[in-house]
Structure formats: structure tokens, C-alpha cells
Chain A
Amino acid sequence: MRLKNKVALITGGTSGIGEAVALLFAREGAKVAITGRNETRGHAVTARILEAGGQAIFLRTDVRKAQECKRAVDETLSSFGSLDILFNNAGVFYPQTALECTEEEWDLHIDINLKGTFLMSKYALEPMIAQGAGVIINNSSGWGVVGGDKAVAYCASKGGVVLLTKAMAIDHGRQGIRVNCICPGDVDTPMLPEDAKMRGLDWKTYLAGCENRPLGRIGTPDEIAKAVLFLASDDSSFMTGASLVVDGGGTAD
């Protein structure tokens, strides 16, 4: 058990990568608070953790709103007594060129993917600094490191996450806080078929494109979760400000 007695707060924990991380962290001994906007799915995830003998709570949270982020941190502290790990994972993706992207859609990407990371970190850092230790992991993307087609707002937001990660690592390393991000490639989550639909591509054609990478397949949420676990655990005690690319070699060329 690599996270025994740790308390973790996971945003966007109701599906996909966030859900896999919540389940893995709980198996590794952490008490888990998950946020999301879908209450039904959130309670389904916490129910699975509780049934397996773990501890979990769901906190309905819109990470775009400062008060809701602050409340999520406060309620995690009042439920579990501390906060050791924050996984900023909540994210949205709509495929658009700059010509197609509306101002509202731009704001949505930046507010959820980037500003949400800032707001949650801002409030989580206080108790972490007070206890002299903490780990923040941000979910960026392969498209936070290289460009992608029809993804202007997403690429901008995820590139922002990579550099926000490095800036926070520099500011808070001396306070015992490590800040890293993961950059997943295409992963088998609900976001993928939704993207295919929005692009008007049939699933088979779309998936074949995603699989066109050195390992010849897309990733599983559990494989991404294991990267997050590595960054959350003491195994990465000398890592901060890093971007861990987990993409089956998709950005190697």
C-alpha cells in the first residue's frame, strides 16, 4: 500500500482517468475525495470504494468557481483531517479550429482545464504548506506539448497546464510541495468516442487513427492512473516540475 493514510482530492473523479485514479488510490490505502458535476456518477464511484472497504466522499464542485474549490478543500479537511495529494484532472475537450471555436467554448476550456487547476491548487496549497509536505499532479495532455488538429482551445489550455506546473514547482519546492503533470495520449475514456462523434468520424476510422503510434494501441485509464500513482507516491520524491508523457510513443516523433 503506497498511499497508506494519505488523503487525496481528485477533480473530475466521476469517470475516465479520474475515476481510475480514485479507485487505484483507494486500493493503495488513501482516503479519497472526488469532485465532479454529475452527482449520480460521483456517488457510484464512492460506493464502489466504500464497498471495497475504502474511504471516499463525493463533493459536487464546479472547478471554475473559487468558492466551490475552497469548499471542496475545506470539506476534504473536515472529513479526513488533512490533504496530502491533489490531482487536478477535471477537463473538457471540443474539437475546433480558431475559426470554429466560439468565445464561450474558448472560455470553457481555459476556465475548466487551466483556471480550475489554479483555483484548486491555490486552496489546497495552504494546508499542504502548513504541514510542510504535499503533492500536486496536474492532468495535461500530449497536446499540451505538441499541437493537434482542430484543438486550439484544448492545446492552449493544456500547454498552460504544463507551464503552470513548472511555475508552481519553482514557487513551492522549498515548502516541501512537489508539482508535476502527466501528458496522456489517447486513452479509452468516454472523451474519445465523444470526440469521434463531434468530428463526424465513424468510430472504427477514428480509433485506427488513435492506434497509429509505436505501441499500436490506445491506453487504458488504469495505465494513466499508475503514472499518477508514481507521481503521488514517495517513489518520485526527487521529481518536481516534470511532465510525464504516457502516450504509447505517440509524441516520440
Chain B
Amino acid sequence: MQLKGKVAIVTGGASGIGRATAELFSREGAVVLIADVNEAAGKVASEKIVKSGGRACFERTDVTRAEECRRLTERAAREFGAIDILFNNAGIIRRATILDLSEEDWDRVMAINVKSIYLLSREVIPHMQRAGGGSIINTASGWGLAGGAKAAVYCASKGAVVLLTKAMALDHGPQKIRVNCICPGDTDTEMLRSEAQQLGEPSEGFLAEAARRPLGRVGSADEIAKAALYLASDAASFVTGTALVVDGGGLAGTI
């Protein structure tokens, strides 16, 4: 059990990578607070953990709203006494060039993918400081390091996550708060399938293209969760400011 006795907040924890990570963190001994806007799926995720003997709860949270981030943090501190791990994972994708992208969609993607990390981290970090340390993991993307077609705002947002991660690592390292991000490649989640829809492409062709990488397949949410676990655990005690690429080699041939 690599996270025995730890308390973790997982945003976007109702589905995909967030849900897989919440379940894995729980199996590794952590108490997990799942935050998501999807109340029904969030409750199911949390109940599943409780049924299998773990400790978890769900808090409906729109992480783009400062007061909801504050409420989430206060609940974690009140009910569990500390916050050791924050997984800023909530995110969405809009597949469009800037010409086809509305200003509303630009603002929404930036708010959910980037601003949420600022809003929630600034609530959680004081608790970590008082406890003498903590680990923050942000979900960036391979497209936070390299460009992708028809993904302008997503690339902009995830590039921002990579550098926000490094900046926070510099600021809060002296307080023993480690800040890292993961850069997943295409992963078998609802979000990936929604991309085919957004692009108006048949999903078989889209998924076959996504599998074109050195390992010849897309990743599973559980494989990304294991990378988040490494960064969350004491095994990564000398790791901060890092972008951990988990993409089956997709970026090995790209800058």
C-alpha cells in the first residue's frame, strides 16, 4: 500500500482517468474525495470504492468557481484532517481550429483545464504547507508539449498546464510540496471517443489512427493512473517540476 493513511482529492473523478486514479489511490490505502460536475457518475464512483472496502466521498464541484473550490477544500480538511495529494485532472477537449472555435468555447476550455488548477491549488496549498508537505499532480497532455491538428485551445490550455506546473514547483518546493504533471497520449476514455464525434469521423478509423504509435495501441485509464500513483507516492520524493509523458511512444519522434 503506497498511499496508506493519505488523503487525496481527485477532480474529474467521476469518469476516465480520474475515476481509475481514484480507485487505484483507494486500493493503495488513501482516503479519496472525488470532485466532479457529474453528480450521478461521481456518486457511483465513490460508492463503488466504499463497497470494495475503501473510504471515499463525492462532492459536486465546478472547479472553475472559486467558492466551490474553497468548499471542496474545507470539506476535505474538516472530514479528513489533512490533504496530502491533489490530482487536478478535470478537463475537456474541443476539436477545432481557431477559425471554428467560439470565444465561449475558448473560455470554457481554459477555465476547466487551466484556471481550475490555480483556483483549487491556492486553496489546498496552505493546508499542505501546515502539514509539512504534499504532492500535486496535474493532468496535462502530449498535446501540452507538441501541437495537434484541430485542437488549438486544447493545446494552448495543456501547454499552460505544463508551465504552470513548473512555476508552482519552483514556488512551493521549499515547503516540500512537489508539483508534477502527466502528459498522457490517447487513452481509452469517453473523451477520446467524443473526439471522433466532434471531428465527424467514424470512430473505428479514429481509434485505429490513435493506436498508431510505437506500442501500437492506445493507453488504458489504469495505466495513466499508475503514473499518477508514482508521482503521488513517496517513491517520487525527489521528483518535482516534471512532465511525465505516458503515451506509448507517441511523442518519441516529435519535439
A residues lining the B interface (CB < 8 Å) = 166-167, 169-170, 172-174, 178, 185, 213-216, 219-220, 223-224, 226-227, 229-230, 235-249, 251-253
A249–B169 touching, CB < 8 Å? yes
Which residue, A174, A237, A243, has most C-beta atoms of chain B within 10 A? Answer: A237
A235–B249 touching, CB < 8 Å? no
Smallest Cβ distance from B135 to chain A, in angstroms?
12
Smallest Cβ distance from A237 to chain B, in angstroms?
5
B248–A240 touching, CB < 8 Å? yes
28 contacts between A and B (CB under 8 A): A166-B253, A173-B213, A173-B214, A173-B216, A178-B215, A214-B169, A215-B178, A215-B238, A216-B173, A223-B238, A227-B239, A229-B235, A235-B230, A236-B226, A238-B220, A238-B227, A238-B247, A239-B245, A239-B248, A241-B245, A241-B251, A242-B244, A242-B247, A244-B244, A246-B238, A249-B170, A251-B241, A252-B240
Q: Does B166 count as interface, using CB distance less than 8 angstroms?
A: yes
Instruction: Pick the residue among B167, B229, B239 that contacts A246 (CB under 8 A).
Output: B239
B residues lining the A interface (CB < 8 Å) = 166-167, 169-170, 172-174, 176, 178, 185, 213-216, 219-220, 223-224, 226-227, 229-230, 235-242, 244-249, 251-253
Query: Chain A: which residue is nearest B234 at the CB level?
Result: A226
B238–A236 touching, CB < 8 Å? no
Which residue, B185, B215, B236, B253, has most C-beta atoms of chain A within 10 A? Answer: B215
Residues of B with C-beta under 8 A to A238: 185, 215, 219-220, 223-224, 227, 246-248
Assembled-state Cα–Cα distance A105/B174 (Å): 38
Q: A173-B215, A235-B226 are in contact. Are A241 and B252 (CB under 8 A)?
A: yes
Smallest Cβ distance from A244 to chain B, in angstroms?
6
Smallest Cβ distance from B78 to chain A, in angstroms?
30
Residues of B with C-beta under 8 A to A245: 239, 241-242
Q: Which 4 A-B pairs have the closest CB atoms?
A: A214-B173, A173-B214, A252-B241, A241-B252
A248–B173 touching, CB < 8 Å? yes
Query: Chain B: which residue is nearest A235 at the CB level?
Result: B226
Name 6 extra pairs, CB < 8 A, besides A235-B230, A242-B252: A173-B248, A215-B173, A236-B246, A238-B220, A242-B244, A247-B239
Residues of A with C-beta under 8 A to B215: 173-174, 178, 238, 240
Residues of B with C-beta under 8 A to A229: 235
Assembled-state Cα–Cα distance A229/B247 (Å): 18
Q: A173-B215, A238-B220, A247-B238 are in contact. Are A216 and B249 (CB under 8 A)?
A: no
A214–B248 touching, CB < 8 Å? no
Query: Chain B: which residue is nearest A183 at the CB level?
Result: B242
Assembled-state Cα–Cα distance A87/B237 (Å): 21
Instruction: Pick the residue among B169, B219, B253 that contacts A170 (CB under 8 A).
Output: B253
Query: Chain B: which residue is nearest A178 at the CB level?
Result: B215
A242–B246 touching, CB < 8 Å? yes
Residues of A with C-beta under 8 A to B172: 214
Query: Chain A: which residue is nearest B173 at the CB level?
Result: A214
Residues of B with C-beta under 8 A to A220: 238
Assembled-state Cα–Cα distance A251/B237 (Å): 16
Assembled-state Cα–Cα distance A219/B178 (Å): 14
B249–A241 touching, CB < 8 Å? yes
A236–B227 touching, CB < 8 Å? yes
Residues of A with C-beta under 8 A to B235: 226-227, 229-230
Q: A227-B239, A241-B214, A246-B242 are in contact. Are A170 and B252 (CB under 8 A)?
A: yes
Residues of B with C-beta under 8 A to A167: 252
B214–A240 touching, CB < 8 Å? yes
B249–A252 touching, CB < 8 Å? no
Residues of A with C-beta under 8 A to B167: 252
Residues of A with C-beta under 8 A to B224: 238
B245–A213 touching, CB < 8 Å? no
Which residue, A169, A178, A249, A253, has most C-beta atoms of chain B within 10 A? Answer: A249
Residues of B with C-beta under 8 A to A251: 241
A226–B169 touching, CB < 8 Å? no
B173–A240 touching, CB < 8 Å? no
Which residue, A178, A214, A245, has most C-beta atoms of chain B within 10 A? Answer: A214
Assembled-state Cα–Cα distance A169/B220 (Å): 19
Instruction: Pick the residue among A173, A185, A227, A239 that contacts B246 (CB under 8 A).
Output: A239
